[in-house]
A and B are shown apart, each in its own frame.
Chain A
Amino acid sequence: MRKTYKILISGQVQGVGFRPFVHSLAQEFLLTGTVSNNEEGVIIFVSGLEESVFKFYKKLIQFPPPVSRIKDHEISLIEDMVYDGFKINPSKKGGQLNLSLTPDFAICDICTIEISDPENRRYGYPFTTCVNCGPRWAITNTFPFERNHTSIDEFEMCEACLNEYTDPEDRRFHSQTNTCATCGIDLFLYDQSGEKVVVPKATLFKKIASLLLEGYIIAIKNTSGYLLCCNAENEEVVQQLRDKKNRPNKPFAILYPSLGHLKDELQVNALQEKSLTSAERPINIISLKGYKGKIALQKVAPGLNQLGVMLPYSGILQLLANELAIPIVATSGNIHGSPIISENGEALEKLKEVADYFLQHRLKISHPQDDSVVKFSTRQNKEVLFRRSRGYAPNYFNATLNSGEKIMALGAHLKSSIAYNPNEFLYISQYLGNLDNFDVYHRFTTTAIKFIDLFEQKPELILYDKHPLYQSTQYGMELAKQLGVKSYQIQHHKAHFASVLGEHELFDCANPVLGVVWDGTGYGDDGHIWGGEFFDFRSKKIERIPHFEYFDWLAGDKMAKEPRLSLLSLAGPQMQSTVSEKFSKEEWTIYQALQKHNKLKTSSVGRLFDAVASLLNICDINTYEGEAAILLENLVINYSLKDCKSYLNDIEDVISPKEIIHKISLDKESGESIEQIIINFLYTLALSIMAMAKSRNYRHIALSGGVFQNTTLVDMLIELVPKEIKLYFHKELSPNDENISFGQIMYYLHLKN
């Protein structure tokens, strides 16, 4: 018997080809009805045999379009209706919108084949997209995702494109970003002075490839912002790029022309391969073990045995890759510390000293994004997100939101991000960068305003960190005043803890949870600099329990830049002569005097890593953020837990970083290998967590903070944890300060009382 049903589906279901997919599926099951987007997601009315409808429903839920994400779905019987075939109805914009925003998707396999096929009408067209792929968040101007709400709207579809768009049988049926060479976006090559370089369209990418091979630096406007590219095998040009970008040592990411080429040079495991070819297509940090290529490694990733690599994720990069025989450096188009550039004029102005050529186009980028970065731990294959940006932002699904309030959280300072909860969804911006830089700050405030405009919802509450000097704190106060709304400040490490609790929806957990929040710097409730914290969560409350023993925080921000200062602060009297060699005579006397009157204390584990790196002569002064910790981990090739020893005698309520440093210096003097000392150090840290959990009977441990970007420590924890204890690491967010904005919302919703 024929019946009519209403189906509601919410989640990442708009801008992912959901309606066309429903359309063809309905036809497969001989159903009639309609599908449209509404304020809550996708709404389907289907009429047909009951059995067919349920088969259709099951298939829809089980095998939705590749880049969609279903959050909720329901089906209900309604009064019988008669439809004329199956139709896609245009979106209606009603009152409050409850939808996810669609992230950027890497070019799909079919589109890749099309642009590489001389027979295809999209051969060589760099902005080829379909319902399953292409930019989304980058070009979104208003909500929800419809062509006329994006920057693509400037380009009117030609007849051929319109035919595809309206043909239910076509892969580009209702593809909002549909364009072709006839109606779409042109690329132009300019030289340094802004003069157009005339190149026939058909040979443009050949020309760029040959310029790269010849050793030029090229700024390429991609769909998510500018990339600076050069030949990775040419030591000279990589050094030139370093000099011009004022980036002496921080590793560059490499774009490989193909997975095959990448696999010829590096060992890529199945998980890495999956990640590298996923719709998010992040940079993967991969071990250089057995490296067989010709990349100028000492210039690309100085002193490191790992490399950040990625594969082409846009039509532009794919077409370039088709002409490339070499891996290229592909790094964010900016000058040290400034945000990634996305405007043509700005690029010519700010990068003219850096790039020799500019590849530009007219597609306006509303939300510029850096490339996301992930790393899989070596032994346990645990995926750790280092930077959440293109491909991931701005949706966030795994959180219990129980607020009637519209809340905006402004995160931290150095790795800033903004979280917004204007409806039943939560949105977390891409990584925005260090707010000391005015251009980053400008992008940060613009993003906050864009969020408000996009959702047409003013926040009713602003959350920010407790640190009085974070630019995000200061902006939060300004914004709250401007909007005339309440604000609330949340301690940094409590936000970190709430963040990881939120990712695993642990707020209703019946058992107590041990929170381990280790990072470099955060302003503590007692006015000291926290960073080696343990928290207890039970009965909806968190409490700070023992922390790493305080030591002196010296010389302001300089201490975070100079690991030798952390060593000086932690070194015992018997180490003075070794440590003093790292300082000039003047510095040494000054710092001795400074210590006598010093009032500011810290429990920072980040600084303990710094001290160890300095003690082992790995790094005394950072040239980029986190350098010492990265170089330290880098020296661990492999370890065996049974050969490890702890640098702490017994772990009671206080963990003494001074004792750890003392023991390490003894080990070093006795001739222990540097690698084994680092392994023992990480083992000591892992053990201290286990000891804390066991002595206090925790069965759940939740970990957050930048220290857990150390994948060796993560591996050790996974290997040391007894069966009855469960570890919770961040899943879809980075353990570093990028998760603070989310944590602030979680703290406010679940813990503030």
Chain B
Amino acid sequence: MDATKLGFDTINLGHGSGGTMTRDLLDKIIFKTFNNPYLNQKHDGSIVKFDRPFAISTDSFVVSPIFFKGGNIGELAVNGTVNDVAMCGAIPKYLSLAFIVEEGLEINDFIRIVNSVKRAADTSGVIIITGDTKVVERGKGDKIFINTTGFGEVHPNANISANNIKVGDKIIVSGFIAQHGMAIMSQREGLEFESTIVSDTTNVNFLVSDLLDKFGSKIHLFRDPTRGGLASVLSEIATDIEKGVAIVENHIPLEKQVAAACEILGLDPMYVANEGVFIAIVAAEVADAVVETMRNHEKGENAVCIGEVTEEHPLKVVMKSLIGGKRIVSPLIGEQLPRIC
């Protein structure tokens, strides 16, 4: 698509009016890009059919900057929701897509984002079936916000529920943590690290369905440690199941350059946001095989078992630290504040 043929450089309030300008924008960009029978009906909504129970998940994406190393808000909006649906043990099929655009967004940027949405949707095998575009006055938004809702059919073998977790279950992380959060943050704050940190936003739904094919109900829980990082997700789980979670610091997959960046900033990577990474809590007897399966998959090359569910220290996540001794990993509450005197 070529912006010059559109006859405008930026998105303005008129594009959200609902009139011909809106129609123009949708026709020339949205419908042209996504071009599928559901959207082509140009109806108020879409009718779809499910054969099995289905999972729904919604998420709004407000990331800044909207373009970052390793991706942009468009693919994030698809992968984030696709992965959330997958975390329910479902196979994502359909996606809704809603934009809230701040007046003044360059049309080229909009097109780039829409194209990323398309690419990410194709990669993860979902169809955009309905959508919405609104434009808000300058200053009332931050370039562009995206909301997506995903629909997926629950995998026939899946039985995902925190209630299934037992003492002795193993906790597996699918890949390097903290990469996405550090990539976003370093770009937003203009922090120039010697090595570039790239976001690993990606869809993990095929890996998840492979795991369900193979291990079915032996997989007790999937979780997506996005905001609040690994620490917050593990803490939530410990609280939910009223058991302890014991992890080992030097098992946690962390790339050297990300670790170094966290060190410089005094950030604990356990609290940094992730994308394209998930945790699986699985029955102990399949843990090794789950790791093996993940490692054979492109999206889980760096999978590793980081710990287990324990009877000790109920409600608490405790990490055996590198230098010996154990430390408590609390959930993130607000920001990371200093405590040391």
Contact = CB atoms under 8 A, between A and B. Distances in A.
A529 interface: yes
Interface stretch (B73-81, B92-100, B326-334): B326-334
A558 B190 contact: no
B313 A438 contact: yes
Contact of A606 (B193, B339, B341): B341
Nearest to A335: B324
Interface string B312-341: 010110100001111110100110111111
B53 interface: no
B214 to A, nearest CB: 35
B1 to A, nearest CB: 36
Interface string A553-573: 111111111000000000000
Contact of B325 (A415, A439, A596): A439
Contact of A437 (B190, B264, B325): B325
B193 A590 contact: yes
B267 interface: yes
Interface residues of A, number: 51
Contacts of A587: 264
A437 B327 contact: yes
A435 B326 CA distance: 11
A371 interface: no
B47 interface: no
B265 interface: yes
Contacts of B323: 246, 336
Contacts of B2: none
Contacts of B192: 586, 589-590, 593
B328 A471 contact: yes
Given A521-B341, A560-B338, A335 B189 contact: no
A556 B338 contact: yes
Nearest to B263: A558
B19 interface: no
Interface stretch (A71-79, A172-180, A462-470, A541-549): A462-470
B325 A337 contact: yes
A441 B190 CA distance: 38
Interface residues of B, number: 31
A706 B316 CA distance: 30
A441 B325 CA distance: 12
B328 A438 contact: yes
Given A553-B338, A555-B265, A560-B338, A336 B193 contact: no
A468 B332 CA distance: 10
Nearest to B336: A556
A437 B328 CA distance: 6
A556 B337 contact: yes
A575 interface: no
Contacts of B333: 468-469
Interface in A581-600: 586-587, 589-590, 593-594, 596-597, 600
B265 A471 contact: no
A435 B333 CA distance: 17
A736 B341 contact: yes
A625 interface: yes
Of B324, B334, B339, most A-chain CB atoms within 10 Å: B339
Nearest to B192: A589
B340 A520 contact: yes
Given A468-B334, A555-B266, A556-B267, A438 B339 contact: no
Nearest to B188: A597
Contact of A467 (B266, B324, B337): B337
A347 B264 CA distance: 36
B192 to A, nearest CB: 6
A246 B324 contact: yes
Q: Name B's interface SS.
A: loop
Interface string B262-278: 01111110000000000
A590 B264 contact: yes
Interface string B188-204: 01111110000000000
A38 interface: no
Contact of A415 (B265, B267, B328, B341): B341
Q: Which of A557, A560, A600 has the most CB of B within 10 A?
A: A557
A521 B328 contact: no
B338 to A, nearest CB: 5
A523 B337 contact: yes
A338 interface: yes
B89 to A, nearest CB: 32
A438 B314 CA distance: 12
A70 to B, nearest CB: 36
Interface in A453-480: 467-471, 474, 478
A586 B327 CA distance: 30
Most buried by A among B268, B318, B338: B338
Contacts of A590: 191-193, 264-265
Contacts of A280: none
A51 interface: no
A590 B264 CA distance: 8
A596 B188 CA distance: 12
A521 B338 CA distance: 7
Nearest to B265: A555
Contacts of B264: 555, 586-587, 590
Contact of A519 (B265, B316, B341): B341
B137 to A, nearest CB: 25
Contacts of A736: 341
B249 to A, nearest CB: 12
B318 A438 contact: yes
Contact of B339 (A467, A478, A555): A467
B240 to A, nearest CB: 15
Interface string A508-521: 00000000000111
Contacts of A557: 266, 338-340
B269 to A, nearest CB: 12
A370 interface: no
Contacts of B316: 438
14 contacts: A246-B323, A338-B325, A414-B339, A415-B341, A436-B327, A439-B325, A441-B328, A520-B341, A521-B339, A521-B340, A556-B266, A557-B339, A590-B193, A590-B264
Given A520-B341, A554-B266, 19 more contacts: A246-B324, A335-B324, A336-B325, A438-B313, A438-B316, A439-B325, A467-B339, A471-B328, A478-B315, A519-B341, A521-B338, A553-B338, A556-B338, A557-B266, A586-B192, A586-B194, A587-B264, A594-B191, A594-B265
Closest 3 CB pairs of A and B: A558-B266, A555-B266, A520-B341
Interface of A: 246, 335-338, 413-415, 435-439, 441-442, 467-471, 474, 478, 519-521, 523, 529, 553-561, 586-587, 589-590, 593-594, 596-597, 600, 606, 625-626, 706, 736-737
